[in-house]
């Protein structure tokens, strides 16, 4: 039986929790309900967190697994990628078993700053569940319409996966999928090969979400699966990236996002939607 525990501490100015299960651990903060680190039983960090990431609770955190809700990118009238990543969520539940550790966090309109309601004036309950096992990390986003009128939203788990060198990394499992990019969003291209070389800058949205991908580097392999989300986004800005990425940092991550971006989710009163991404060590 593996020892389990949850430690509370601080990262910069932010409260944080670290989930432990044997040699595996994951760290998250209620600010944005954001996972910042995942180290499975092999002891190798799988998530990228920028050395320049803001940890003061006033700006989005560059790295880990940001929660995108209720707006993906600029596809709407609200703040880019929505308000979920810039508000503090309440901890609803923590639970430990013989082979798992779980934390659930919630966000509803009572926790929002007044300005956030302007672009999304709907009643909702958003819930993020983080489940750690020795060889796997599951992150689920669930949204319930708690009002009387229907609403629509877009969302994503904007996962930053660490790689030693992006030019020596590849993503397996996208062969035959169709994708588009911002340069010509109305045109869909077919991914001809099952192994996609990661050559930044990258900004692709792939149709279909029920797939298992493998991120392969010279030293690590990580499997990525998703359910509920209908699309997958592949992103790396290349050398001309955001200011909160140090010079050369783009070579050490790739974002593989479980997304519902081009096709919004519509919820009637009391309806609920959920989407999940699992990060896994390959079978032995």
Active site residue 158: yes
Q: How many domains does the chain have?
A: 1
Beta bridge partners of 7: 18
Catalytic position from the list 81, 87, 158, 252 = 158
Per-residue pLDDT 10s for the chain (284 aa) are 578 999 999 999 999 999 999 999 999 999 999 999 999 999 999 999 999 999 999 999 999 999 999 999 887 788 889 999 999 999 999 999 999 999 999 999 999 998 898 889 999 999 999 999 999 999 999 999 999 999 999 999 999 999 999 999 999 999 989 999 877 878 999 988 888 999 999 999 999 878 899 999 999 999 999 999 999 999 999 998 888 999 999 999 999 999 999 999 999 999 999 999 999 999 87
pLDDT, position 114: 87
What domain range is 229 assigned to?
4-280
Task: Determine the pLDDT at residue 243.
Answer: 86
CATH number at residue 182: 2.70.98.10
The pTM for the full model equals: 0.96
**Active-site annotation holds for 189:** no
Closest CA to 276 of 111, 114, 136: 136
Beta bridge partners of 187: none
Res 1: pLDDT? 52
> What is the total residue count of the chain?
284
Residue 226 is predicted with a pLDDT of 97
- Selecting among 127, 140, 223, 257, the annotated active-site residue is 257
25 Cβ neighbours under 8 A, 6+ residues apart: 18, 19, 37, 38, 39, 132
Contacts of the segment 137-140: beta carbons below 8 A, 24+ positions apart: 137/26, 137/35, 137/38, 137/40, 137/46, 137/278, 137/279, 137/280, 138/276, 138/277, 138/278, 138/279, 139/35, 139/65, 139/276, 139/277, 140/274, 140/275, 140/276
What tokens does 280 get? 């896994």
């Amino acid at each position: 039986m593996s020892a389990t525990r949850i430690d509370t501490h601080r990262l910069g100015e932010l409260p944080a929790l670290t989930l432990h299960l044997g040699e595996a651990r994951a760290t998250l903060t209620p600010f944005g309900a954001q996972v910042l680190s995942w180290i499975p039983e092999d002891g190798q960090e799988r998530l990228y967190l920028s050395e320049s990431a803001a940890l003061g609770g006033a700006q989005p955190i560059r790295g880990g697994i940001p929660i995108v809700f209720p707006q993906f990118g600029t596809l709407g009238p609200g703040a880019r990628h929505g308000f979920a990543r810039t508000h503090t969520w309440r901890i609803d539940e923590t639970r430990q078993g013989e082979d798992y550790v779980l934390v659930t966090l919630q966000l509803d309109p009572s926790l929002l700053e007044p300005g956030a309601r302007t672009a999304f004036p709907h009643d909702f309950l958003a819930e993020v569940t983080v489940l750690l096992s020795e060889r796997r990390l599951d992150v689920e986003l669930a949204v319930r319409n708690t009002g009387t009128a229907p609403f629509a939203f877009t969302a994503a788990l904007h996962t930053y996966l660490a790689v030693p060198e992006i030019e020596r990394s590849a993503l397996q499992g996208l062969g035959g999928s169709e994708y588009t990019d911002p340069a010509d969003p109305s045109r869909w291209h077919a991914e001809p090969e099952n192994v996609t070389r990661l050559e930044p800058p990258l900004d692709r949205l792939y149709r279909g979400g029920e797939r298992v991908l493998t991120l392969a580097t010279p030293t690590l392999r990580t499997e990525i699966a998703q359910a509920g989300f209908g699309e997958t986004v592949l992103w790396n800005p290349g050398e001309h990236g955001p200011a909160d990425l140090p010079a050369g940092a783009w070579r050490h991550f790739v974002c593989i996002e479980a997304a519902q971006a081009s096709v919004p989710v519509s919820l009637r009163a009391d309806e609920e939607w959920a989407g999940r991404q699992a990060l896994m060590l390959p079978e032995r």
